Amino acid sequence: MAYGCGGGVHAVSGAPLVAGNLIRDNSALLFGGGIHVGDQGLAELLENRVIENWSLAGGGLSVYHNACPSVIGNLIARNVAEDAGGGAIIYSPPLEFRGNTVAGNEALLFGGGIFCSYASPFINNTILWDNTPDEVYPYNSSPVLTYCDVEGGWPGQGNIDADPLFVFPAWDDCRLLWESPCIDSGDPVLNDPDSTRSDIGAFFFDQGDSITLYISPDGPDVAPAGKVGVIYTFINRRPAAREFWFASQAALPAGQSVRVLGPIWVHLPGQYTAQIFRSHAVPPSAPHGRYLYRAGIGFSPDEVIDEDSFRLRVRAPGQVIGPAVSGSRSYCGD
């Protein structure tokens, strides 16, 4: 809990880079439950997951006073503001807000997704969906949206109003299923890493894989002797049916690996998506700490055509997990 601003990250000077982090379950009494950038923070926010934070305004993110020149590739989901800006409040001159997914946020008054106050940000290639009570609320501002997916619609070049078809939004997996209207619908001057036209949102669908695998956990941590729920999503976007093996393993805190599933042979019809739920019991003797859960698929035993992973924390006996600010790339300093 921050008694002022920035429950997870508070950047007000220098030019900090905040990238690749999970910023979850933080709170602030004033602004920016997850992240607050103010004064001359000049922060770059790249590819973070800002989830389930709370504040008076800007539940996930607040940007004030000529700060934050770029907000790119972030997931801002299920944050809450008691006043305005459930996902984000932007009170600053125009900034680049591109390739983000703002979904399932809530404000009790205005701007469930984004509240723009005396600022006219340029919002591009962004999904704004299932935010309450509205997706974007301009107050003395004129935000410009282009190539965005906005629930209820929004005027602007390339904007659409269509269900983005997330993989499993209830568990904060807002990646795109193959049928998503956001695929290849982004700004045509931009390309995704697979060299196709840009997709709308924080996560692109890799069209280089003939079979796509996603794995989605039910939470970031588990108690000893508890259970981990996982949704396995298999996507065959080719007309012909395919057979492939599937296997998963967990890397323990000390580095050794244990097999969890498989290898199992899977038959998937053509142009078909399957989602399977499995619950995995955590042994009472499992060492506490951070685990890496990995899964892969392939057509032959020595070939991996796609893989996915997530990190999980096994709590020590009696340990209570608090707010999370963690990631592989972050720098905050002058």
Is residue 16 reached through a cis peptide bond, with omega within 30 degrees of 0 on the bond before it?
no
CA 162 to centroid of chain Cα atoms: 19
Report residue 241 as tokens.
């049916």
Closest Cα to residue 102, out of 74, 72, 141, 65? 74
Alpha helices by DSSP H, the chain: none
What are the sequence ranges of the domains in the chain? 9-204, 211-314
pTM to 2 decimal places: 0.92
In tens, the pLDDT along 144-169 reads 999 999 999 999 999 999 999 999 99
136-139 and 88-91 strand pairing: unpaired
Is 3 or 269 the better-scoring residue by pLDDT? 269
The structure tokens listed for 307 are 């893989």
Contacts of 44 (CB under 8 A, 6+ apart): 15, 16, 17, 18, 19, 68, 69, 70, 72
Give 211-314's CATH code, choosing from 3.90.1150.10, 3.40.800.20, 2.60.40.290, 2.60.40.3880. 2.60.40.3880
Picking from 98, 163, 101, the residue whose alpha carbon sits closest to that of residue 125 is: 98
pLDDT at 254 exceeding the cut of 70 = yes
Per the rule left: phi > 0, alpha: psi between -120 and 50, beta: everything else, 182 is: alpha
Ranges 11-20, 41-50, 106-115, 321-330: which has the least confidence:
321-330
DSSP SS3 for 167: strand
Is residue 203 predicted with pLDDT exceeding 60?
yes
Three-state DSSP at 137 gives: strand
Burial group, residue 264, by CB count within 10 angstroms (0-12, 13-18, 19+): exposed
Mean pLDDT, all residues of the chain: 90
